[in-house]
A = this chain, B = another copy of it.
Amino acid sequence: MVPPSRTDLEVVGAFNPAVTQYEDEVVLLLRVAEAPPASDTQVAAPIYNVDSRRIEIKTWPRSSGVDAGDPRVIVDNGRTWLTSISHLRIARSRDGIHFEVDPAPALSADNAYETFGVEDPRITRIDDTYWINYTAVSPHGVSTALASTRDFRKFERHGIIFPPSNKDVTIFPEKIGGQYAALHRPQLDGFERPAMWIATSPDLISWGAHRILARARDGTWDNSKIGGGAVPFRVRSADYDGWLAIYHGVTESPYAYSLGALLLDPEDPSRVIARSREPILEPETPYERDGFFGHVVFTCGLLVDGDQVRIYYGAADGVTAVADLSLEDILAGLGEP
């Protein structure tokens, strides 16, 4: 369904979409991954060149001994390249199920922080502006950048809001206690334990007051790492009041990316009230289990309508899927924070 942005590239995935309602349409912002066609004689990496302002293809003969064991990367003399480059593409739908995909990218690599592409967007609507945060990937690291639009035609870039290594950012849809808030996920290094963090901002551009929100939990489905998923939404029911944040958790063995929920204090979202005991969505179907990177369900956005939580998600880093869950069921599955 997704045409490539250039004739010399193939679309290898259209997944991990942001989602929002815009006028009378459901708008997805898809991560579209493209790669040069496979070859028996060489491996290739597409890179955005900031001088020519074009994607160029770097190639290595397979006989050169370059490390292409992981299908996602090429390692040459200690330097890493990605085998595909992602841009963000709009898809529109009246019913939320049948989509038309734009022929051209909406946002693609455009500067030195994005030479390996732009990935995994989230859309947060605040008043009439749709704020889009996305992962910017380059040899300078994996960081989170911000853009905005009012019409999904013209986009404005606002620079890097979380420096490397940081991804899985989700911005809350309103100020809380006078400040904007966002979840983020600093990358692991030597003696850090994997965790989701929360930060606040006066203006969506500058972020501070960083605090740990939730950590990977030993002995359960999110024991390896966790990160923000869909944009949090407010829940007000007889039994539950707070921000519901659907997040992803990784099980180490057998390896799987699943989804769960955190319920956060309505006034102080740095306080976790409750957390899913079991996943609310796990990789089960063939398209979730097999793909470019299998055993993955990964969400960047959802739409809520009464009890229906419609989760759009990437499956196996290859395709976009949708699942309708019951809000009541999600809440009933919450346990200890």
Interface residues of A (CB under 8 A from B): 73, 79-81, 112-113, 139-143, 159-166, 184, 186-193, 195, 197, 199-203, 205-212
Kindly state the separation between the CA atoms of A208 and B141 in the bound complex, as whole angstroms.
16
* Residues of chain B with a CB closer than 8 A to A161's CB: 208, 210
Closest 5 CB pairs of A and B: A206-B208, A80-B191, A206-B206, A141-B192, A160-B210
Known contacts A139-B193, A140-B195, A189-B141: does B163 contact A210 (CB below 8 Å)? yes
A184 touches B208 (CB 8 A): no
Query: In whole angstroms, how far apart are the Cα atoms of A190 and B82 in the complex?
Result: 12
Q: How many copies does the complex hold?
A: 2
Task: Please name 16 further chain A to chain B contacts, defined as beta carbons within 8 Å, in addition to the given A163-B166, A203-B206, A206-B206, sorted by A numbering.
Answer: A113-B212, A140-B212, A141-B186, A141-B189, A142-B189, A159-B208, A159-B210, A159-B211, A160-B210, A162-B210, A165-B165, A165-B186, A165-B192, A200-B206, A201-B208, A202-B203
Residues of chain B within 8 A of A186, CB atoms compared: 141, 163-165
With A165-B165, A186-B141 given, is the CB distance from A159 to B209 under 8 Å?
yes
Given contacts A140-B193, A212-B112, contact A163 B199 (CB under 8 A): yes
Contact B203 A163, beta carbon cutoff 8 Å:
no
* Residues of the B chain whose Cβ atoms lie less than 8 Å from the Cβ of A192: 139-142, 164-165
**B139, B163, B208, B210: which contacts A197 (Cβ < 8 A)?**
B163
User: Judging by beta carbons under 8 Å apart, are B205 and A205 in contact?
Assistant: no
Contacts of A143 in B (CB 8 A): 210
Closest to A192 in B: B141
Q: Is the CB of B190 within 8 A of A80?
A: yes
Q: Which of A81, A166, A192, A210 has the most CB of B within 10 A?
A: A210
Q: Which residue of B lies closest to A195 (CB)?
A: B140
A208 to B166 alpha-carbon distance, docked (Å) = 13
Shortest CB-to-CB span from A111 to chain B, Å, is 10
10 interchain pairs (CB within 8 A)? A113-B212, A139-B192, A159-B210, A161-B208, A162-B210, A163-B186, A164-B189, A187-B189, A200-B206, A207-B208
Please indicate the chain B residues that have their CB under 8 angstroms from the CB of A202 in the complex.
202-203, 206
Tell me how far the C-beta of A216 lies from the nearest C-beta in chain B, rounded to whole angstroms.
12
